[in-house]
Amino acid sequence: MKKWIYRILMLACLCVFAYCAYRLYDIYSGSRQVEKETETMQEHAVKENTETQQKYLEPDWAALKEENPDIVAWLYVPQLGFSYPVVQGSDNSYYLTHTYTGADNHRGAIFLDSGAPGDFSGNNSIVYGHSVDVGGMFTDLDKYEDKGFFDANPYFYLLTPQGNYRADIRTFAKTTEGTSFYQSDFGDYRTEIEQQMMDEATYSRQVDPAGRPMITLSTCDLDYGFDSINRLALTAVLEPWNEPVALAD
């Protein structure tokens, strides 16, 4: 009887080990798939000055759209080492579970809200990305929870086929779905909604929107788990930018 109990326990342990090994492989392979795709996309976006060896973002939009016609922008957040294409699908579900090439992957892609103007001319263009337990995508947005980090890093960049922008960060919020940060069309209440964002923000700085478009980067707040309605939202004002966008070392 004891031998049978030991055998059953051994079999159970082997099953648990096999499942854990499979999950680790699945996580690794999924992460590597996104990394390889991003590296391929970056070949169409990064240029290097051979004399200075300085690298710059200069997306070849025709080449990128050959890879995927849904690509509408390139997002660069230097303080996070974050440099990804942005896609826009016909709904907000597809790119939650698909990469830039359409491959099934739980890490998904960085995507613009399906109802937003593709040229980021709307009042507030919401860009979504997952927070994942192995890092990458929008996971590091939680660094803005530190007031010192928020104060020291006041902008990021958005590059589009229509033109480039420096995104001057106005607010960071630990918030929930449906708050002012997720208002995409302000209608006749622009001033009120802009002030509501400031009032609801965890941190803010004085950046005058002056009628310019805004962008909000949104991800899950992992402090509350993967299935909650809690979110991290980083909102910035888009300032047209004509200078080269140099990549940090």
pLDDT digits (tens, 9 = 90+) for 8-18: 555 555 544 44
Q: For residue range 175-209, list pLDDT tens digits in order.
A: 998 999 999 999 999 999 999 999 999 999 999 99
pLDDT of residue 27: 42
- On whether residue 2 sits in a domain, the answer given is no
pLDDT of residue 9: 54
- On whether residue 68 sits in a domain, the answer given is yes
Which segments of the chain have a pLDDT < 50? 15-30
pTM for the full predicted model = 0.85
- On whether residue 189 sits in a domain, the answer given is yes
pLDDT of residue 11: 55
pLDDT of residue 105: 80
pLDDT of residue 150: 97
The CATH code of the domain that includes 64 is: 2.40.260.10
Q: Assign 3-class secondary structure to the chain.
A: CHHHHHHHHHHHHHHHHHHHHHHHHHHHHHHHHHHHHHHHHHCCCEEECCCCCCEEECCCHHHHHHHCCCEEEEEEEHHHCEEEEEECCCCCCHHHCECCCCCECCCCCCEECCCCCCCCCCCEEEEECCECCCCCECHHHHHHHCHHHHHHCCEEEEEECCEEEEEEEEEEEEEECCCHHHCCCCCCCHHHHHHHHHHHCCEECCCCCCCCCEEEEEEECHHHCCCCCEEEEEEEEEEECCCCEECCC
Tally of domains within the chain: 1
Q: Which domain holds residue 105?
A: 46-246
- On whether residue 29 sits in a domain, the answer given is no
- On whether residue 144 sits in a domain, the answer given is yes
- On whether residue 5 sits in a domain, the answer given is no
- On whether residue 61 sits in a domain, the answer given is yes
- On whether residue 72 sits in a domain, the answer given is yes
